[in-house]
Structure 1
Amino acid sequence: MGESTPAVNVAWFKRYRYMGSKGKEATQRLLAIVVIISMMTMMNIPAPVIIFFAIVVYFVWRAVQRSEQQEIGGIFDFYEKAHNILRDEEKRWYGFEIEDVIQSGERILDLMQDAPPLVYFTLGSLASRSGDHERAVNYLSSVVEDERGDELRCLVPSPLLKRYVNVLRKIEQEPAVAAPTMAAVRSLERSRRTRAASLLAENRERLSVAAAQSPLHASPQASPQIAHATSSETASASDDLVHKPVASNTLLTSVQRLPIAEVLRDVYEEEKKTA
């Protein structure tokens, strides 16, 4: 997939900009603005102030609308880029290429607290491909073992998730409008159904193997050369102790220590004499 992917997404996002719930929300906002302006007119607010207010509201509205479109488009762009990496296991990708796509997916999680489960699975698959098994287990477990992996449990969606689902249903009805995007979504969903659990188990197994092979868990054993040298030194020291001549009795008696009571008695007697 070439550089035309973002252009394709922009085209079909513009086409669906005012369709479905998006168009209904736009109409509701427009009516609200008209009502506010009418009330300002009835309050005898000067016309320049009303016009200025209307212009400001319009540009803010357009900015919010454009931001929402870019956020939704970013999710589908993430799917396409991830699909390009995951579909060909024999192709060798640079680590920074995979990491860039992972970071774009993690930005989606920052924007949406109720991000689609497919985003979590895709992130886990990319992390597994890059060899980051700990991060892969974190994301894949959210899909396989967490409530976030079940779309049926999402009953109170965020506005961004509602718009995402609306756009997704539109391109499902007309896949020709965004064929590369639809192909990526279907491929990732198929992989999620068939491989999510096995991929999670595989990454957990690799984590366990890596933990068992880490230096903290390895029991160090002395090499044969070191063990032989240590035993030789011990034997030599023992021989020295056995064959060393014993000191004479006069030497031993010269170094004998007096009992502490006798030492104290001598000290007291010397102090009495000096006194």
Structure 2
Amino acid sequence: MVKEQALQLGADGHLVGVLARPSAPPRVAGDLATPAVLLLNAGVIHRVGPHRLHVILARRLAARGMTSLRLDLSGIGDSRPVPGALSFRESAVVDTRSAMDRLAADGERRFVLFGLCSGSDNALATAAVDERVVGLVLLDPPAYPTARSRARKLAARVRGLGTARAVLTWGGATLARRLRARVDAARGRAAGEDDAVTGGRGMPAIAEYRARLGALVERGVAILMVFSGALGERYNATNQLFELFPELRGRIEVAYFPGANHTFTERDAQAQLVETVCVWMERRR
């Protein structure tokens, strides 16, 4: 049985979250207890999560003896916006730390942050400044194309065309499109380089991202990165992360779901994701 409780958090109670706990008390407490999981908003989707992902995951974790909090950040869902000069990222970090403070009053000392897309960015930013974060589950975090990923994309496209004539026609059209793009870029009309690489999502420079991940793993933060099949050449193979960051092989765990879309809409994909996260969390005991 799962116990759920709505909470108001933050200094003035402007944040809202739903706490899910196992019905039986934990076997151990304090520093030896399994970390509590904070489920952060995916973009502006409220605490239910995309296609109820956060609800399903929270209840599954509780059924396996783990505590979680589905949090609405300021201005999302039932949480009130807070006037001020903080950026979205800065505000998200403050809110997440406030939620950890509230759970710490109940005895929770260690936390795993779960986030999809911008939620993963907020999780990374919080982990960088708060050592209570001992684990991260990052769904479609920052990802960057590599020479190998571009080659895989090209090979898959060629295989899909079938005939030599179709390949030549496609190749000619692709070359013409790229030439036009270069001309437009020279005239200042094309999208910026970052948009071309990331699809419009702001991401850190590769060197900055490498340093951030390196600092976290050196601190002992356990990291599970989960990639969907929606990222194109930015992620199209299980171990692509280590093509770019070979020094992180064996230090970060990766799961790749090539058949899943960005929000894990399909029930089978969502079920596999939830099971993957639960098994990974059980190893944090």
Instruction: Using structure 2 for the length normalisation, give the TM-score.
Output: 0.20
Considering fraction of residues, name the structure with more helix. 1
Q: Please give the TM-score of this superposition, normalised by the length of structure 1.
A: 0.20
Question: Which structure shows the higher strand fraction?
Answer: 2
